[in-house]
Amino acid sequence: MTITAAADGSALGNPGPAGWAWYVNDDCWRAGGWPHGTNNQGELMAVLDLFRSTAHLPDEDLHILCDSQYVINSVTKWMPGWKRKGWRKADGKPVLNVDILKDIDRELAGRKYRFEWVKGHAGHELNEAADERARAVAIAYQQGVAARSGPGFPDAEPAAGRRAVKEGRGEGGIPSLFESETPARRAAGTTARAGAGAPARAEAGTRVRPESEAPALFESDEPDLFSELGADELGADAFAEAPEATTPEEMVEALERELLRPDVRSDIGRTGQLLHPDFMEIGTAGRLWTRDAMMMSLEESPAGPVDLDVLSADRIGTDTVLLTYRSYSRAGSALRSSLWVLDGEQWRLRFHQGTPEA
């Protein structure tokens, strides 16, 4: 059996509100996106999610229809050379979108697949369907409304259980770990709806911010939202910035304090090192946040300083520390818990949840 699917991406402004989608038929498709991204990132994410959504069918041939020569060449021609050169191009510069390309590379192992280029916007039924859904997500982020994420692939692992593209489909909101809400905002409500794939940047009761008013912070690493400075490349040496600590509990507290600094939160490379690849947070609005969504949200809006008083730091396993504390910021105080795990020689944040105090 051959699975034939079209994969496409869309970005309004490129970069701008972005979406991705793959499409087999009306009963088998999936879409998601980000508040700010590029068309190439959307195209790549559509391919990545298609591989992940069909991972339970490793013996099936996967026929991918794609209108992006960049994606096809990246996967079928350039990637082997990039890997040999340490994910750098022939001119020595880092490969753009390297983290998502690495994820695609991992998904290719043991899979039977082939790409076919199709001309975009030329009436190809599957390509048009994928393009329509990707663009719908991008428009949803632009307008601050909900977008359809699709039924997914039958019997596939739920998206909430997959690395990197897992994401809640309910109410939006801001990450509780670094929330930048003011009391007035909280009183008005912070339940902006978002399509699957990343957090929206709008709040209930407020107008949607035009693209021209988007913070410049997000453009500092343009165009690679997933950053050439990922944890896989920098490794344990990057943790030298953390204050000295003699015990795991002290190390975890030091790293948590570092993660609460605005300059660290706005550094997508550093947050990528501190957050575990399977990081998950349940936000104050009930939204499920993932590592990629959190990193992109924080780069766009790192918020102000946050202080903390540690309530307890408990070793609950050889490689696991549970940190509970009270945080203080201009938005008020909150009770928080963070689960840190030892990943190789690095302590990384695996789970976080916070509840604002009345």
Query: Which CATH number is 110's domain given?
Result: 3.30.420.10
Residue 114, in any domain of the structure: yes
Residue 131 sits in the same domain as residue 226: no
Residue 268, in any domain of the structure: yes
pLDDT tens track for 55-101: 999 999 999 999 999 999 999 999 999 999 999 988 888 899 999 99
33 close to 147: Cβ distance less than 8 angstroms: yes
Residue 328, in any domain of the structure: yes
The answer to whether the annotation marks 91 as part of a ligand binding site is no
Q: Report whether pLDDT(190) > 60.
A: no
Residue 236 sits in the same domain as residue 329: yes
357 noted as active-site residue: no
Q: Which of 49, 67, 203, 233 is catalytic?
A: 67
d(CA 258, CA 247): 17
The answer to whether the annotation marks 278 as part of a ligand binding site is no
Q: Which of 131, 249, 256, 281 is catalytic?
A: 131
Residue 190, in any domain of the structure: no
Predicted local distance difference test score (pLDDT) of residue 185: 31
228 noted as active-site residue: no
d(CA 248, CA 268): 24
- Among 107, 124, 155, the domain-final residue is 155
Residue 7 sits in the same domain as residue 147: yes
Residue 166, in any domain of the structure: no
- Among 132, 155, 178, the domain-final residue is 155
131 noted as active-site residue: yes
56 noted as active-site residue: no
Residue 231 sits in the same domain as residue 326: yes
Task: Report the percent of the chain where pLDDT is more than 90.
Answer: 44
Phi-psi region for residue 177, left (φ > 0), alpha (ψ -120 to 50) or beta?
Answer: alpha
Mean pLDDT, residues 177-200 taken together: 35
Question: How many domains does the structure of the chain reveal?
Answer: 2
228 close to 268: Cβ distance less than 8 angstroms: no
CATH at residue 268: 3.10.450.50
Predicted local distance difference test score (pLDDT) of residue 204: 28
Which residues touch 355 (CB under 8 Å, ≥6 apart)? Answer: 176, 284, 334, 335, 336
Structural domain including 101 reads 2-155
pLDDT tens track for 322-354: 999 998 877 778 899 999 999 888 899 999 998
Residue 124, in any domain of the structure: yes
Amino acid at 324: T
Min mean pLDDT across 1-10, 52-61, 97-106, 289-298 is at 289-298
Residue 8 sits in the same domain as residue 81: yes
d(CA 14, CA 166): 24
Q: Which of 16, 42, 43, 292 is catalytic?
A: 43
67 noted as active-site residue: yes
Q: Which of 59, 110, 121, 344 is catalytic?
A: 121
pLDDT grade for 355, boundaries at 50, 70 and 90: confident
Residue 267 sits in the same domain as residue 342: yes
The answer to whether the annotation marks 67 as part of a ligand binding site is yes
Residue 149 sits in the same domain as residue 235: no
- Among 155, 187, 206, the domain-final residue is 155
267 noted as active-site residue: no
Predicted local distance difference test score (pLDDT) of residue 177: 58
pLDDT tens track for 236-285: 333 334 445 579 999 999 999 998 888 888 777 788 788 998 899 987 66
Residue 20 sits in the same domain as residue 112: yes
The answer to whether the annotation marks 131 as part of a ligand binding site is yes
